[in-house]
């Protein structure tokens, strides 16, 4: 019998702790599939955030470290510089990356660190109870914005890839989603390229993934997929923001 779908080797066979309808499980599997397909499991190290994905090491069957809140890119930078032979990626939510970790992600990107960043955007703080995040949409109701986010008071939601695109050393910046099969397939393609860029020493790559959070959006799991399509995608437009080719080696005159 031909197997057409099976658990990736890079994923443990365990029960999930994520809420029903959460997108983290889909993204975890995509990362595991890509690592298996690239045959890099034995030299891959993930860096988990503080947030809903803090227990990444319980799901991925490869080395995973933990970082202080928001410091995930700094830890990944240290690992990659100490062991450039390893494949290092950070996996971060919108609070970890775009709030307390803003300085770390900007400077890692500006330095052009040869790491891969998976940025999960669900427009809300999940682990701490549903507060406003840097990516919370205008008018969106959260625990700390009961009347909706007022952009005249707290600013507009951050567009992270667009913000990092001005950094000259960033090479690959893309935004995708997992709210339907078509975009799940695109997400895998983008994440695979982000890892391939690191393997080929191209430089800093970041993939932002729009991910459902039905628990704190106050909708059903199915409704959360519609919410992404109708609410998030019009503001967080999907596609490649920046994709620079590798710099060719200088021609020797010898």
User: pLDDT by residue for the chain (254 residues), tens digit each?
Assistant: 788 888 999 999 999 999 999 999 999 999 999 999 999 999 999 999 999 989 899 999 999 999 999 999 999 999 999 999 999 999 999 999 999 999 999 999 999 999 999 999 999 999 889 999 999 999 999 999 999 999 999 999 999 999 999 999 999 999 999 999 999 999 999 999 999 999 999 999 999 999 999 999 999 999 999 999 999 999 999 999 999 987 666 666 65
Q: 32-48 pLDDT, tens per residue?
A: 999 999 999 999 999 99
**What is the structure's pLDDT at 254?**
55
Q: 97-133 pLDDT, tens per residue?
A: 999 999 999 999 999 999 999 999 999 999 889 999 9
Question: What's the pTM value of the predicted model, to 2 decimals?
Answer: 0.95
222-251: b (≥16 Cβ within 10 Å) or e = eebbebbeebbbeebebeebbeeeeeeeee
């Amino acid at each position: 019998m031909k197997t057409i779908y099976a658990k990736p080797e890079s994923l443990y066979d365990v029960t999930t702790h994520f809420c029903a309808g959460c997108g983290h499980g889909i993204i975890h599997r995509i990362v595991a599939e890509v690592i298996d397909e690239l045959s890099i499991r034995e030299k891959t190290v993930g860096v988990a955030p503080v947030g809903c994905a803090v227990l990444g090491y319980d799901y991925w069957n490869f080395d995973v470290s933990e970082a202080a809140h928001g410091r995930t890119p700094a830890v990944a930078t240290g690992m990659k510089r100490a062991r450039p032979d390893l494949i290092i990626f950070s996996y971060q939510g919108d609070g970890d990356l775009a709030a307390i970790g803003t300085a770390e992600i900007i400077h890692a990107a500006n330095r052009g660190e040869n790491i891969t960043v998976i940025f999960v955007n669900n427009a809300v703080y999940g682990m701490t109870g549903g507060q406003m995040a840097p990516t919370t949409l205008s008018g969106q109701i959260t625990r700390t914005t009961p009347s909706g986010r007022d952009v005249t008071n707290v600013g507009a939601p951050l567009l992270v890839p667009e913000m990092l695109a001005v950094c000259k050393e960033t090479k690959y910046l893309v935004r995708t989603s997992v709210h339907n099969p078509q975009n799940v397939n695109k997400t895998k393609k983008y994440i695979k390229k982000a890892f391939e860029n690191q393997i080929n020493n191209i430089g800093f790559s970041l993939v932002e993934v729009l991910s459902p959070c039905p628990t704190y959006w106050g909708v059903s799991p199915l409704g959360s997929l519609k919410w992404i399509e109708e609410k998030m995608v019009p503001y967080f437009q999907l596609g490649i923001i920046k994709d620079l080719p590798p710099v060719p080696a200088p021609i020797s005159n010898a």
